[in-house]
Amino acid sequence: MNISESVKYIGVDDTTIDLFESQYVVPEGVSYNSYVILDEKIAIIDTVDKRGMKEWEDNLLRTLDGKKADYVIVQHMEPDHAGSLARLLELFPDITVVGNAKTFVMINQFFENINIKDSLTVKEGDTLNLGSHTLTFVMAPMVHWPEVMVTYESSEKILFSADGFGKFGALSLTENEDWACEARRYYFNIVGKYGAPVQTLLKKASALDIKTICPLHGPVLSDNLGYYLDLYNTWSSYQPESKGIFIAYASIHGNTAVAANRFADMLRDKGVEKVVVTDLSRCDIAEAVEDAFRYDRMVLAAASYDAGVFPIMQDFLHHLQSKAYQNRTIGLIENGSWAPTAAKTMRSILDTMKNITIVEPVVTIKSALKENDIPALEELADALK
């Protein structure tokens, strides 16, 4: 794949991985992107996960067509990108490794006996001239990891954005797919905690004239960049993207599920524009995290369990907590057969989050939903609608 005359895609699709980062289901796989800039000097932007190393090496050598690579820019040291760095140094022992001070610390942590003959340590704003192309390095600490930097190529106005603007899905399987759905799931689960560093990077990016974004996962973005930048601004500032109510339930024997679905119908009857219901025991938790961030309101309905809350709800709330979930309005429904404790436990986790409004009343159901529970649910629905 060509990005332009001189910028080539040499990344690979991974369609056989079971779980990305050992936790995210990727039914359509994932791509590890890597790029080559062909100029008087040749630069490689990142390598790939070692799962794709052989195919990447073939892509690289075919693209180089007998020429040697002069530089490798290491934007991110996570193994899905730097996993083939040692192999690259075997292929081109004289290559100059370009990174920042933190990059080199991590290279030595990951690769015990790596033999780097030549290195170039860059800092914010440093440039590297390749001939007609010039790279400017922009530090992006915590836009996933502390050593992350992005690279701007000024002659073609390309931003190599590291994990930023990445998306799940192998390129060969997702050519005509909507970008936002899997980019959003990727963003909130992988980068979500670091909204402030993403905001800082977006501010730096706004000073650049960008025509193309080349991320390390998912498609190269070239049309309508404002759309992607706007979504990233919304997501990283923890503002809801859509008006609607996300109902997540955790039910042992199905009674809490009945109440959650009945409550969803009530909200729809009251004219709420969008109501989405999920069973935390059976859904992809990463998808639930995505929806919790996407909508402006959330309802948590859970069974009490061992004087606490059913564990899958606790697990979900810990995921939200670790991704810095904030700025949302929440309703609580608990169920219990002798001493209901679910709401108290959910509230204690929500209390650690910033700017969460818990709407009254908190509704308690005893074992199964009954007609005399309806007024309290109606009241909660009215408070949330």
Ligand X SMILES: Cc1cc2nc3c(=O)[nH]c(=O)nc-3n(C[C@H](O)[C@H](O)[C@H](O)COP(=O)(O)O)c2cc1C
Measure the CA–CA gap between 346 and 351, rounded to whole angstroms.
9
One DSSP character per residue, 128-156 reads: EE-SS-EEEEEE-TTSSSTT-EEEEETTT
The footprint of ligand X on residues 117-176 (CB under 6 A) is none
Q: Which of 320, 11, 290, 305 is nearest to 171 (CA)?
A: 11
Asked if 324 is part of the footprint of ligand X (rule: CB under 6 A), the reply reads: no
- Are 278 and 247 contacting, i.e. CB atoms less than 8 angstroms apart? yes
Question: Is 370 an interacting residue with respect to ligand X (CB under 6 A)?
Answer: no
Both tokens of residue 181? 């759905």
Distance CA 82, CA 145 (A): 13
- Min separation Cβ 316 and ligand X, Å: 15
- Please say which residue, 314 or 341, places its beta carbon nearer to ligand X: 341
Q: Shortest distance, CB of residue 80 to Fe ion, whole angstroms? A: 4
Q: Of Fe ion, ligand X, none, which one sits near residue 367, judging by CB under 5 to 8 A according to partner kind? A: ligand X
Look at residue 31 and give the partner it binds from ligand X, Fe ion, none, a contact being a CB closer than 5 to 8 Å depending on partner kind.
Answer: none
**Residues 26-85 interacting with Fe ion (rule: CB under 5 A):** 78, 80
Query: With CB cut-offs between 5 and 8 Å by kind, which of ligand X, Fe ion, none does residue 100 bind?
Result: none
Which pair of tokens denotes residue 278? 């999920």
Q: Which phi and psi angles does 213 have, rounded to 5°? A: -115, 125
Considering the complex, what minimum distance in angstroms separates the CB of residue 257 from ligand X? 6
The yes or no reply on residue 336 touching ligand X (CB under 6 A) is: yes
Residues 127-146 that bind Fe ion (CB under 5 A): 144
Half-sphere CA count of 111, side-chain side, radius 13 A? 20
Residues 237-266 that bind ligand X (CB under 6 A): 251-256
Give the C-alpha separation, 258 to 139, whole Å.
Answer: 50
- Three-state DSSP at 344 gives helix
Q: Is 341 helix (H, G, I), strand (E, B) or coil?
A: coil
Burial class (CB in 10 A: 0-12, 13-18, 19+), 277: buried
340 binds, among ligand X, Fe ion, none (CB under 5 to 8 A by kind): ligand X
Of 189, 241, 179, the residue nearest 215 (C-alpha): 179
> Is residue 304 within the footprint of ligand X (CB under 6 A)?
yes
Our CB check for ligand X shows the closer of 293 and 316 to be 316
CA atoms within 13 A on the CB side of 76: 26
Residues 102-121, mask of contacts with ligand X (x by CB under 6 A): --------------------
Our CB check for Fe ion shows the closer of 183 and 300 to be 183
Q: Is 279 in the site for Fe ion (CB under 5 A)?
A: no
Q: Convert residues 156-175 into a mask of x (bound to Fe ion by CB under 5 A) and - (unbound).
A: -------x------------
* Residue 342: closest CA among 285, 289, 304, 314: 304
Residue among 295 and 310 whose Cβ is closer to ligand X: 310
Q: Which is nearer to ligand X, 171 or 309 (CB)?
A: 309
Q: Which residues bind Fe ion (CB under 5 A)?
A: 78, 80, 144, 163
Interface ranges with ligand X (CB under 6 A): 251-256, 303-307, 335-341, 367
